[in-house]
């Protein structure tokens, strides 16, 4: 083990963290002046997610805005917090990020403990909630961690009694030749049965976050059991996890091999740390940086001019935010100059108009048209007649929306710019090109302009990676226009495909490297890209919508003008319009050619927790339908 490691022991009532730095012993992570954080998350009156004591303080006045006992709710997909439905992973992440942030230093490895016998699906939810909080994420089985911290003799059996609030478990751990194995685990039995288990072991270790722990330890001692009682029982599991990792690392070095992460399944059964979650470049540490100001979610309507929040692109706007046709300066590998800056992140989350599947909701547009819209159905399919088969690793998500222009002027009813879906990390996923398709063979597409009193029924197809869970459908955009209401948000539960293969892009290079020759738009050209995650030098004092961040892509490109930011699952995000005045990036004047490239800068607005994996170069006319046959063939530049 090297660098800084933080272990978080998520409990039913309290959560604790322990930190070990290079050359230093373990110490508790202090959050709000305490080493134990109540396992609670709440939506505050100012629409921020808060944790710990602050969340518990809201329970007396607004109990419906407080979520307790997240540990037992990991099997749920989402939960109602106040008037917002939020993914469970987002709530858990809020708590974990608070502990990691309180470490006060860069964390190289995050270790999460979990009870013995947890199914792989529940462990996966826990690790997915922690993605990006540290370059590596592992899991450790709690009783094995506690046993490792007890410094047992070889060939010994230990009964680990872990108390967690009003509940607890009793686990038998065997140590042989320095290796730990879990023999059995049961819910905490009554005294007599517990005494039988205790007498069958060489020692008993009592740990946990409960005032009953010393009482139970004394009672077992009075029964003649050999009892160990940790001086700090609340942090015993977390400290033991550090010791378990050290033992494993030392054993691996003795065997002449490097330490390799084990799978989550191995961690659940054998006690080895579970899978590392690889991280990318500096924006993954941004999850911690942004958590300082945002604590990830809330309901907050504000901030952006129409069309450049996470919702709509204005009609007819080009993909590149800025650029110019110029002669290649000093060779064909030049790019716009890199401008120094800092990360640009806004705390909170856009406000939404809460709605339910099939139930109409009111949405007033910026032009004054008042719509009554309802999301009728959301379904995943591998093929759509108008678009063909979904690209490899993707599925088509079909969203059927119905609505009526109740009052006001005519509405330019472009559903492909009005309908988005949201993944479990809060990233808005939008159609690429014109995603409007016929819902049924006999159903016409919605009209381009919806007159007052008229209704529509339309479907939008979005390419979504099979590994991406979808938690909501959104109708509308985030806007600061006083005449426009917050977008309508409808919670849904589209789970990832089990054992789905990852999206395999057509990789032609790495971001930040010199341009390469590619084939696109029926021509051969040179193209190259670089991702800038500190974009303030380009965007000035403009800020993204609450809960989002800006990312800038510097580009050398040819005849196509569709450049998409790519996340680690394969979601493609289009560039935002409205950034036509940026340092060293002249106004965009049109696509270039094979012998006359464009030097451009693109601005993207993505969720603060989105993990950027690269850039994909596409070829779509402004109103072109996306074909399902060639998305995976678009050239992609990946990170690292």
pLDDT means per 10 residues, the chain with 640 residues, are 84 91 83 89 79 86 86 82 79 90 88 90 88 86 88 81 84 84 85 80 85 84 82 87 82 56 36 34 36 33 31 32 45 71 81 88 87 94 85 92 91 85 89 85 82 91 92 83 77 85 90 88 83 90 87 84 90 86 68 70 89 88 60 88
Mark out the alpha helices in 160-316 (DSSP H runs).
191-199, 213-222, 236-254, 264-270, 286-294
**Residue 351: CB partners within 8 Å, gap ≥ 6?**
47, 299, 300, 301, 302, 486
pLDDT for the residue numbered 256: 57
**45 is written with which tokens?**
């009156």
**Residue 586: CB partners within 8 Å, gap ≥ 6?**
322, 323, 324, 326
Q: Are 182 and 171 in contact (CB under 8 A)?
A: yes
DSSP state of 390: P
DSSP state of 432: S
Which phi and psi (to 5°) does residue 214 adopt? Answer: -65, -35
Block residue for tokens 């021509």: 523
pLDDT for the residue numbered 482: 56
Q: Which residue from 510, 560, 504 is spatially nearest to 530, judged by alpha carbons?
A: 510
- Per-residue burial over 597-628, b if 16 or more Cβ lie within 10 Å, else e, is bbbbbbbbbbbbbbbbbbbbbbbbeeeebbeb
d(CA 26, CA 17): 10
pLDDT for the residue numbered 259: 45
Q: Are 126 and 137 in contact (CB under 8 A)?
A: no
Q: Are 426 and 350 in contact (CB under 8 A)?
A: no
Which helix (H) or strand (E) segment holds residue 248: the answer is helix 236-254
pLDDT digit string (tens) for 153-169?
A: 778 888 888 888 778 88
DSSP strand pairing (488-494 vs 353-354) = parallel
d(CA 323, CA 102): 42
């Amino acid at each position: 083990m090297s660098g800084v490691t933080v272990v978080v022991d998520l409990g039913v009532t309290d959560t604790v963290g322990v930190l070990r730095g290079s050359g230093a012993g373990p110490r508790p992570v202090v959050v709000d002046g305490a080493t134990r954080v109540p396992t609670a998350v709440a939506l505050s009156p100012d629409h921020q997610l808060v944790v710990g004591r602050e969340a518990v303080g809201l329970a007396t006045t607004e109990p419906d805005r407080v979520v307790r006992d997240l540990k037992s709710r990991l099997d749920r997909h989402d939960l109602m917090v106040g008037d917002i439905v939020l993914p469970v992973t987002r709530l858990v992440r809020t708590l974990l990020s608070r502990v990691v942030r309180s470490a006060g230093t860069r964390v190289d490895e995050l270790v999460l403990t979990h009870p013995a016998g947890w199914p792989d699906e529940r462990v996966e939810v826990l690790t997915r909630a922690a993605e990006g909080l540290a370059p590596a994420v592992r899991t450790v089985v709690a009783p094995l961690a506690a046993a490792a911290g007890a410094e047992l003799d070889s060939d010994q059996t230990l009964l680990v009694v872990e108390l967690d609030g009003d509940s607890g478990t009793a686990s038998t751990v065997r140590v042989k030749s320095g290796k730990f194995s879990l023999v059995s685990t049961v819910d905490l039995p009554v005294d007599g049965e517990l005494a039988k288990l205790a007498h069958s072991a060489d020692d008993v270790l009592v740990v946990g976050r409960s005032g009953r722990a010393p009482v139970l330890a004394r009672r077992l001692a009075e029964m003649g059991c050999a009892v160990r009682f940790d001086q700090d029982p609340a942090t015993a599991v977390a400290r033991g996890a550090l010791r378990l990792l050290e033992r494993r690392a030392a054993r691996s070095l003795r065997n002449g091999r490097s330490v390799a992460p084990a799978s989550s399944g191995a961690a659940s059964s054998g006690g080895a740390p579970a899978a590392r979650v690889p991280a990318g470049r500096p924006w993954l540490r941004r999850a911690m940086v942004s958590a300082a100001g945002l604590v990830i979610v809330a309901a907050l309507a504000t901030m952006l001019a129409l069309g450049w929040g996470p919702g709509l692109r204005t009609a007819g706007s080009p993909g590149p935010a800025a650029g110019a046709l110029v002669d290649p300066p000093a060779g064909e590998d030049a790019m716009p100059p890199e401008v120094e800056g800092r990360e640009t992140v806004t705390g909170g989350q856009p406000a939404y108009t809460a709605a339910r599947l099939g139930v109409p909701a009111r949405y007033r547009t910026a032009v004054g048209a008042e719509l009554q819209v309802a999301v009728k159905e959301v379904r995943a399919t591998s093929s759509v007649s108008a678009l063909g088969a979904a690209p490899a690793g993707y599925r088509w998500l079909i969203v059927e929306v119905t609505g009526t222009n109740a009052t006001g002027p005519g509405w330019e009813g472009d559903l492909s710019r009005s309908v988005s879906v949201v993944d479990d990390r809060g990233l808005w996923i939008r159609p690429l090109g014109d995603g409007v398709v016929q819902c049924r063979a006999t159903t016409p597409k919605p009209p381009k302009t919806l007159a007052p009193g008229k209704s529509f029924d339309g479907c939008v197809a979005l390419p979504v990676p099979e590994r991406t869970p979808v938690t909501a459908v959104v109708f509308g955009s985030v806007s600061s226009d006083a005449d426009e209401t917050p977008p309508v948000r409808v919670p849904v539960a589209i789970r990832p495909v089990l054992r789905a293969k990852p999206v395999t892009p057509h990789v032609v290079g790495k971001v930040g490297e010199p341009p390469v020759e590619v084939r696109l738009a029926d021509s051969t050209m040179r193209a190259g890209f670089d991702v800038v995650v500190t974009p303030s030098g380009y965007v000035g004092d403009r800020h993204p919508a609450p809960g989002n961040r800006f990312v800038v892509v510097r580009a050398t490109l040819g005849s196509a003008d569709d450049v998409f930011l790519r996340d680690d699952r394969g979601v493609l995000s289009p560039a935002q319009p409205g950034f036509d005045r940026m340092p060293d990036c002249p106004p965009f004047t049109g696509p270039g050619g094979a012998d006359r490239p464009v030097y451009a800068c693109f601005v993207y607005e993505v969720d603060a927790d989105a993990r950027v994996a690269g850039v994909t170069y596409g070829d779509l006319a402004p109103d072109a339908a996306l074909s399902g046959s060639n998305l995976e063939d678009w050239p992609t530049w990946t990170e690292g």
